[in-house]
Amino acid sequence: MSIEDYTGGSAHDSDIVVVTTNDVPGHGVKQVIGEVFGLTVRSRHIGAQLGAGLKSVIGGELKGLTKTLVQARTEAMERLVEAARARGANAVLAVRYDVNTAQDSGTEICAYGTAVVLAPAA
């Protein structure tokens, strides 16, 4: 498996800037739109659960679960970007993730941040 299978984030060609910082160098916040989020809940498939059970006995990375988690984070990020775009933003600042177990049957992932309109600094 390649590194692309285990990494995520927003698409490089996106029209929405997504950062974990509170500002973007060379730009000022023209308008604060407000909080936006992207949410997904994923369940583990039976193959991943069986593999995880075996790995818990012998040790090692749970690659199937890792890949599922990356896919879920990517989906949450895509939904965050869609929400920001729909509200007229061109950036999302202070992006964070929240991960929880959803009723012992899956994993809930929420990507959230502050949607803003950025403008180049004068």
Tally Cβ neighbours within 10 Å of residue 99: 12
Check if the beta carbon of residue 21 is closer than 8 Å to that of residue 96.
Answer: no
Q: What is the CATH number of the domain that holds 47?
A: 3.30.110.70
| pTM reported for the whole predicted model | 0.81
- Structural domain span for residue 69: 3-120
| Amino acid occupying residue 103 | Q
Q: What is the pLDDT of residues 6-61, one digit of tens each?
A: 676 666 678 999 999 999 999 999 999 999 999 999 886 555 555 555 556 677 77
Instruction: Establish how many alpha carbons lie within 13 A of residue 96's alpha carbon, considering only the half-sphere containing its beta carbon.
Output: 6
**Of 18, 1, 28, 21, residue with least CA distance to 85:** 18
Handedness of CA 99, 4, 47, 61 (dihedral sign): negative
The total number of structural domains in the chain stands at: 1
